[in-house]
């Protein structure tokens, strides 16, 4: 019983220390608050399931990122298989100032990226080093640099109505 209690304490500390990071990753994969909360819950479940087998081959933060990203990407794949009803109750005039429109535009463009590229951008926006991004997503540091350059170009060239 002592091992389980130790694992529970470790899990609670982990969630307490990294909940905003986990939530941020989930937020980048959906703009629907209910879906973000579902992704967050699923991520916590997967973290709990994997905590006992965490071998320390990477940093705990890197391990958390990988689990959360994989959870969100998997959920995105499952979501594509389901038909989602179109919600017509959208207020297109909600953002009144230029800064909030810019943030929304950036978020919308990031949402249109492929899940792998979205993950890389999210990690980069969190000021994570290229080396650690490579460890999290499983590519070389040089490849991170190349992909980020291409992603930035892709984001710049996106049109609002696409």
Residue-range domains of the chain with CATH? 1-84 (1.10.1740.10), 91-162 (1.10.10.10)
- For the chain, the maximum distance between any two Cα atoms, rounded to a whole number of angstroms, is 57
Structure confidence at residue 2 (pLDDT): 80
DSSP H or E run through 46: helix 33-51
* Rg, C-alpha atoms of the chain: 17
In the structure encoding, which two tokens stand for residue 159, read together? 């049109």
In the structure encoding, which two tokens stand for residue 90, read together? 């959208």
Identify whether the C-beta of residue 26 lies closer than 8 Å to the C-beta of residue 40: yes
Residue stretches of the chain with pLDDT short of 70? 1, 79-99, 160-162
pLDDT tens sequence across 97-117? 666 777 778 888 888 888 889
- Give the predicted TM-score (pTM) of the model: 0.60
**Whole-number Å distance between alpha carbons of 31 and 27:** 6
Query: In sequence order, which residues have a C-beta less than 8 Å from that of residue 18 and are 6 or more positions away?
Result: 61, 64
In the structure encoding, which two tokens stand for residue 20, read together? 């905003």
């Amino acid at each position: 019983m002592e091992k389980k209690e130790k694992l529970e304490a470790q899990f609670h500390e982990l969630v307490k220390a990294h909940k905003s990071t986990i939530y941020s990753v989930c937020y980048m994969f959906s703009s629907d608050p209910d879906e973000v909360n579902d992704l967050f819950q699923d991520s916590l479940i997967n973290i709990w399931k994997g905590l006992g087998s965490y071998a320390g081959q990477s940093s705990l933060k890197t391990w958390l990122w990988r689990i959360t990203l994989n959870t969100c990407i998997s959920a995105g794949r499952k979501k594509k298989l389901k038909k989602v009803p179109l919600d017509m109750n959208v207020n297109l005039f909600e953002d009144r100032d230029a800064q909030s429109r810019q943030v929304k535009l950036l978020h919308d463009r990031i949402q249109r990226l492929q899940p792998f590229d979205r993950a890389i951008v999210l990690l980069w926006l969190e000021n994570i080093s290229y080396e650690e991004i490579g460890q999290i997503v499983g590519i070389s540091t040089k490849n991170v640099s190349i992909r980020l350059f291409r992603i930035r170009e892709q984001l710049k060239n996106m049109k609002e109505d696409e």
